[in-house]
């Protein structure tokens, strides 16, 4: 007897739904999940091995439940790069920023509550909302993928969501949300409820502009979410973190599982933070490659959304999925995020980007024949 998900007594809102599923295909050039293409440098690999060996000696014990050393180092990193001093009491860490977002929705969302995001945006916000029983509201964006302040403020006033997501730089479009827009949304959210505003800055290190970290000052309902998956080149580590008023850090502890961050994760993240300057050096290279992708895609004749991230949204295609398939046939995996007419490519190494540009050049020729 074959039994499928819907034959099980799963929650009603999960019936007929699909899990997050960026394809993990074995192709020569993978530019589809916004990872950093550079493996960690060898001295850091050695340091991780050393720190993990030390941690292994204590694995009979539970790890530091509050991850104090790690949060202190993350606070130092934020203070140094984010334009605003924060301490350990402002910072919380979890297994990837996806888990940070899940903990925020478990704390401030949940059954009977709602969250809003301005779409297209990071698809996991709505998926995590669903997983936590939080109602999802899809807020509007303009045709150029910017957030229209008036339309967004109206949507917040109408729906009075408990959580507002703002992703900047936005994924998959790559554009930054201006500070004034975030401030306007925060004001609207306070007037409507008041609700929590989560600014997802997963890609901020690749931005031409500054972090919105200073905005947490005097705004206890504002949370900045960050990750080590992108700029730190450590997607496999699974380490995300947030910065906010200390009360927010206290609140998420009501829902976090005890000892959620393993001793191995904490040791590895601490080793990576010792090598921050080297890792941020790769970010500069990736920014230059991102800018080259934008320029060359335009020269070939594609439309490109202005990008402040380590990826570029390009189009337009009469059938984006068909174009995705044709690029894949040429050995390059990009991402079809379901935005009609558009695809997204992650900035890879110069060689990977050349392979991608060759593929889309050929595609353009084929389409104009
Ligand atoms: C906007 C945004 N936020 C969060 C994440 C999740 O990152 P993490 O690996 O820290 O869970 C991603 C990953 O692609 C992202 O694009």
0.75 cut: is pTM over it? yes
Tell me: the pLDDT tens digits for 119-166?
A: 999 999 999 999 999 999 999 999 999 999 999 999 999 999 999 999
Query: Which ligand 1 atom is the nearest neighbour of the CA of 239?
Result: 10
CB count in 10 Å sphere of residue 95: 17
Q: Categorize the per-residue pLDDT at 25 as very low, low, confident or very high, splitting at 50, 70 and 90.
A: confident
State if residue 202 touches ligand 1 by the CB under 6 angstroms criterion.
yes
Residue 105: what pLDDT?
98
Residue 202 CA, ligand 1 centroid: distance in Å = 6
Residue 188: what pLDDT?
98
Tell me: the pLDDT tens digits for 75-109?
A: 999 999 999 999 999 999 999 999 999 999 999 99
Burial track 167-189 (b if 16+ CB lie within 10 A, e otherwise) = bbbbbbbbbbbeeebbbbbbebb
Residue 226 CA, ligand 1 centroid: distance in Å = 8
Asked if residue 11 has a cis previous peptide bond (ω within 30° of 0), the answer is: no
Residue 97 CA, ligand 1 centroid: distance in Å = 6
Helical axes 263-274 vs 42-56, angle rounded to 10°: 150
Q: What is the mean pLDDT of the chain?
A: 96
Pocket test for ligand 1, best of 35, 124, 204, 240 (most atoms within 8 A of CB): 124
Is the pLDDT at 194 greater than 80? The verdict is yes
Pocket test for ligand 1, best of 93, 97, 126 (most atoms within 8 A of CB): 97
Q: Where exactly are the structural domains of the chain? A: 23-40+277-368, 42-274
Residue 14: what pLDDT?
86
State if residue 123 touches ligand 1 by the CB under 6 angstroms criterion.
no
State if residue 167 touches ligand 1 by the CB under 6 angstroms criterion.
yes
Nearest-angstrom CA–CA distance, 226 and 6: 35
Question: Same CATH fold, 42-274 and 23-40+277-368?
Answer: no
Shortest CA distance to 138 belongs to which of 125, 150, 157? 125
Is the pLDDT at 18 greater than 90? The verdict is no
State if residue 170 touches ligand 1 by the CB under 6 angstroms criterion.
no
User: Which CATH number is associated with domain 42-274?
Assistant: 3.40.640.10
Tell me: the pLDDT tens digits for 271-330?
A: 999 999 999 999 999 999 999 999 999 999 999 999 999 999 999 999 999 999 999 999
Residue 19: what pLDDT?
81
Residue 320: what pLDDT?
97
Please report the sign of the dihedral spanned by the C-alpha atoms of residue 343, residue 346, residue 350, residue 355.
negative
Q: Whose CA is nearest to atom 12 of ligand 1?
A: 202
Is the pLDDT at 68 greater than 80? The verdict is yes
Q: Categorize the per-residue pLDDT at 259 as very low, low, confident or very high, splitting at 50, 70 and 90.
A: very high
In sequence order, the 6+-apart residues with CB closer than 8 A to the CB of 27 are 328, 331, 332, 333
Is the pLDDT at 240 greater than 90? The verdict is yes
Is the pLDDT at 196 greater than 90? The verdict is yes
Query: Which ligand 1 atom is the nearest neighbour of the CA of 240?
Result: 10
Is the pLDDT at 20 greater than 80? The verdict is no
- Both tokens of 172, joined, read 């998959």
Residue 275: what pLDDT?
97
Residue 313: what pLDDT?
98
Q: Does domain 23-40+277-368 have CATH number 3.90.1150.10?
A: yes
Is the pLDDT at 343 greater than 90? The verdict is yes
Residue 230 CA, ligand 1 centroid: distance in Å = 8
Is the pLDDT at 368 greater than 90? The verdict is no
Residue 367 CA, ligand 1 centroid: distance in Å = 33
Phi/psi region, residue 92 (left: phi>0; alpha: psi -120 to 50; beta: rest), is: beta
Q: Mean pLDDT across the stretch 212-223?
A: 98
Residue 191: what pLDDT?
96
């Amino acid at each position: 007897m074959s039994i499928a998900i819907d034959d099980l007594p799963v929650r009603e809102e999960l019936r007929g739904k699909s899990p997050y599923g960026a394809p993990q295909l074995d192709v020569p050039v993978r530019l589809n999940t916004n990872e950093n293409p550079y493996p960690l440098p060898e001295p850091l690999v050695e340091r991780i091995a050393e720190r993990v060996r030390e941690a292994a000696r204590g694995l009979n014990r539970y790890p530091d439940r509050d991850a104090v050393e790690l949060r202190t180092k993350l606070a130092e990193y934020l203070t140094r790069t984010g334009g605003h001093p924060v301490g350990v009491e402002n910072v919380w860490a979890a297994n990837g920023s996806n888990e940070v977002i899940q903990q925020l929705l478990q704390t401030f969302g949940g059954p009977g509550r709602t969250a809003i995001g301005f779409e297209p945006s990071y698809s996991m916000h709505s998926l995590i909302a669903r997983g936590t029983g939080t109602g999802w509201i899809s807020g509007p964006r303009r045709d150029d993928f910017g957030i229209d302040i008036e339309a967004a403020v109206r949507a917040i006033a109408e729906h009075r969501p408990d959580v507002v997501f703002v992703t900047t730089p936005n994924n998959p479009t790559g554009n930054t949300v201006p500070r004034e827009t975030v401030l306007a949304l925060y004001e609207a959210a306070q007037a409507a409820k008041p609700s929590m505003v989560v600014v997802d800055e997963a890609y901020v290190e690749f931005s031409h502009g500054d972090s919105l970290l200073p905005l947490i000052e005097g705004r206890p309902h504002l949370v900045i979410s960050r990750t080590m998956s992108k700029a730190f080149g450590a997607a496999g580590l699974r380490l995300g973190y947030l910065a906010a008023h200390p009360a927010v850090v206290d609140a998420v502890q009501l829902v976090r599982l005890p000892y959620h961050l393993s001793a191995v994760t904490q040791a590895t993240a601490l080793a990576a933070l010792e090598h921050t300057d080297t890792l941020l050096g790769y970010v500069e290279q990736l920014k230059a490659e991102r800018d080259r992708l934008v320029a060359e895609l335009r020269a070939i004749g594609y439309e490109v959304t202005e990008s402040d991230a380590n990826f570029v949204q390009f189009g337009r295609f009469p059938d984006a999925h068909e174009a995705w398939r044709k690029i894949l046939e040429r050995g390059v995996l990009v991402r079809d995020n379901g935005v009609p007419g558009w695809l997204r490519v992650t900035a890879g190494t110069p060689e990977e980007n050349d392979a991608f540009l060759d593929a889309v050049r050929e595609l353009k020729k084929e389409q104009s024949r």
